[in-house]
Structure 1
Amino acid sequence: MDFTERVVAQWAERRPDLDVSPVLVLGRVQRIAAALTAASDTTLAPEGLTRGEFDLLTALRRAGRPLRPSEITTVTSASGAAITKRLDRLTRDGLVERTGSDRDRRVVLVTLTPAGEELVDRLFAPHVAQEAAVLDGLTPAEVAELERLLAHLLHVVDPQTY
């Protein structure tokens, strides 16, 4: 019996009138996400980065162009305040630059510095390998089914994702 099953069993004893079976899926999803974030943070800590900062840097690298802070908020699903805090730190560390737009001085654009691009390029392949190792115990068919089910669930939870 795993942790989530114990939680459901405990609720069944305390509140037998409630169907807490969604915890069997969603509780596990939350625990998996927390475990992956913790593992990522452990791997990134020697580089002085958090998972959130790495997500911001990789969003800029993927885009291949400067992004407005609001665009970074959208693609990382982090709050505007979190993005501002991360940008302040990454700017101080010389990994990103904020510049004004030539067309509209109210617009701030964020770009990776050469040091930021080098850092992302160096860390991204091991990061993907670490994530791939998590799925090693599943067959290709199981991975495909999990991808399909999670995509469907994400669409239910966040229809704007599509």
Structure 2
Amino acid sequence: MTKPSPIPPPEISEYQVGESVGYLITRVRSTMSNLVTQRSMAELGITSQQGSILFMVASGKCLLAAELAREYGIDASAVTRLVDRLEKRGLLTRVRSNEDRRVVRLALTPEGQAIAARMPAIFTGVLNSLLGGFTPEEVGFLKSMLRRVLVNAGEQTGVTRDAASKPDSKS
């Protein structure tokens, strides 16, 4: 067993984690996820990740497990387990494509669709709480900056330049 070093090296002791943009983004994401899970578990009996997946399928943004894996940055086996759980609960089904039998699309059951339809209100409620005291302009600026981060990472944001500059609701 090794002893912990009493004095951390300078690259650790001088690093101000509370000033790290990456740390702050991670903490905000974790906090949002926890708050959405609290509400979605209380109201719908599902986690934020399950609700988010149902919403993404309902919106048409992610209709394949591989698309979910890319969207959430998780491996295919984790998506498969999530989809298995949602399918076991009767919230979604796998549907083999008629055009290409190798392709398996995800489709919501009526119950899954009903839950997906309730997720935007949960997302918006949590974000409105977290963004309390922000002006619409500040929210618009925050969204614009976050979109720029995504563009810098090579991601498409799916928002036109005009829409990106317009302040709107806090969600």
Measured in 1, the distance between the counterparts of 2:156 and 2:14 equals 29
TM-score (ref. length: structure 1): 0.78
Q: Find the counterpart in structure 2 of residue 63 from structure 1.
A: 60
Task: Please list, as runs of the form range in 1=range in 2, the aligned pairs for 1:1-162 lying within 5 A after superposition.
Answer: 15=10, 20=15, 24=19, 25-46=21-42, 47-63=44-60, 67-156=63-152, 158-162=153-157
Q: 1:29 to 1:45 in 2, by over 3 A?
A: same
Structure 2, unmatched stretches of 5+, are: 1-6, 158-171
Cα RMSD (Å) of the superposition? Answer: 2.6
Measured in 2, the distance between the counterparts of 1:72 and 1:96 equals 14
Higher helix residue share: 1
Measured in 2, the distance between the counterparts of 1:27 and 1:17 equals 14
Structure 1, unmatched stretches of 5+, are: 1-10
Task: Give the share of equivalent positions with the same residue, in percent.
Answer: 24
Measured in 2, the distance between the counterparts of 1:87 and 1:17 equals 40
Measured in 1, the distance between the counterparts of 2:149 and 2:123 equals 25
- Higher-RCO chain (CA-CA 8 Å, sequence separation at least 6): 2
- Aligned length in residues: 149
State the SS of the aligned residue for 1:160. Answer: coil
State the SS of the aligned residue for 1:67. Answer: coil
* Offset, 1:102: 0.8
